[in-house]
Amino acid sequence: DIVMTQSPDSLAVSLGERATINCKSSQNVLHSSTNENHLAWYQQKSGQPPKLLIYHASTRESGVPDRFSGSGSGTDFTLTISTLQTEDVAVYYCQQYYNIPRTFGQGTKLEIK
Amino acid sequence: QVQVVQSGAEVKKPGASVKVSCRSSGYTFVDYHIHWVRQAPGEGLEWMGHIYPKNGDTDYAQKFQGRVTMTRDTSITTVYMELSSLRSDDTAVYYCLRETWYYRDWGQGTLVTVSS
């Protein structure tokens, strides 16, 4: 199984500042057939199902604000929120869809400082 | 638009089984895998398995092998997830999701509480 490890586990950032969450996979998730990294990022607010933010490591889902961006390739990935807003308080998960079983990172809790 | 709607909350005793339904609409039901993911209270996301509605093929996480069964009824575009021999640590919100490689479309979640 591919193990997904996020860092940090929790993060407190001031409003308007940058937030950075890292995700490391135990195996390469760059898929040769698609030439895409099979890595997604989700945002989960309290009491709600997760919401897709980023797929293929860096493609923003339709309707997601452009302050959210994803980067990285192979085994190391980053989710960046450029200017933190109050509505960004949530838990963020990375997930690989390179193979079965699908696996998620443990989550990063983002709060306002 | 795509909709994924799950059945309501359940309370079960240890040792019992639970069957959660997941009805999809807004797309060609048989063409996309449906996955199940669960989330225990205060915990992260755990993948349980998936089913391909076109032919009923399934693949389950090793942890749930022998306890989980996923089925489908194409006539009503519904997938079912049955978990047996329930334990207290099966208390969780269970989500079904339509897969398009990644998970864009999530059900609202079904809380299953296992308590004596």
pLDDT in tens, A3-33: 999 999 999 999 999 999 999 999 999 998 8
Regions of chain B with pLDDT less than 50? none
ω into B53 cis (within 30 of 0): no
Residue A49 and residue B45: Cβ atoms within 8 Å?
A: no
- Chain segment A85-104, per-residue pLDDT in tens: 999 999 999 999 999 999 99
Residue A95 and residue B45: Cβ atoms within 8 Å?
A: yes
Residue A49 and residue B59: Cβ atoms within 8 Å?
A: no
Closest CA of chain A from B55, distance in Å: 18
Per-residue pLDDT at A98? 96
Identify which of B44, B59, B106 has the shortest CB distance to residue A104. B44
Report yes or no: B62 at the A interface, CB cutoff 8 Å. yes
Interface with chain A: mutation pick from B38, B45, B105, highest number of A CBs within 10 Å: B45
> For the purposes of burial, counting CB atoms within 10 Å of the CB of B28, is it exposed (0-12), middle (13-18) or buried (19 or more)?
exposed
Tell me which chain B residues have a C-beta less than 8 angstroms from the C-beta of A56. Answer: 102
Strand partners, A76: A24, A73
Residue B106 and residue A104: Cβ atoms within 8 Å?
A: no
- Chain segment B18-46, per-residue pLDDT in tens: 999 999 999 999 999 999 999 999 999 99
Per-residue pLDDT at B7? 98
Which single residue is written with the structure tokens 């889902």? A61
* A-chain residue closest to B108, CA distance: A49
pLDDT band at residue A34, thresholds of 50, 70 and 90? confident
Task: Answer whether A75's CB lies under 8 Å from A24's CB.
Answer: yes
Tell me which chain A residues have a C-beta less than 8 angstroms from the C-beta of B62. Answer: 101
Task: Answer whether B107's CB lies under 8 Å from B5's CB.
Answer: yes
Report yes or no: A61 at the B interface, CB cutoff 8 Å. yes
Q: Rounded mean pLDDT of chain B? A: 97
Kindly give the pairing relationship between strand B10-12 and strand B110-114. Answer: parallel
Residue B102 and residue A55: Cβ atoms within 8 Å?
A: yes
How many other C-beta atoms can be found within 10 angstroms of the C-beta atom of residue B21?
18
Per-residue pLDDT at A88? 98
Mean pLDDT across A59-82: 97
Per-residue pLDDT at A25? 98
Rounded (10°) CA dihedral B86, B30, B25, B4: 30
Residue B44 and residue A97: Cβ atoms within 8 Å?
A: no
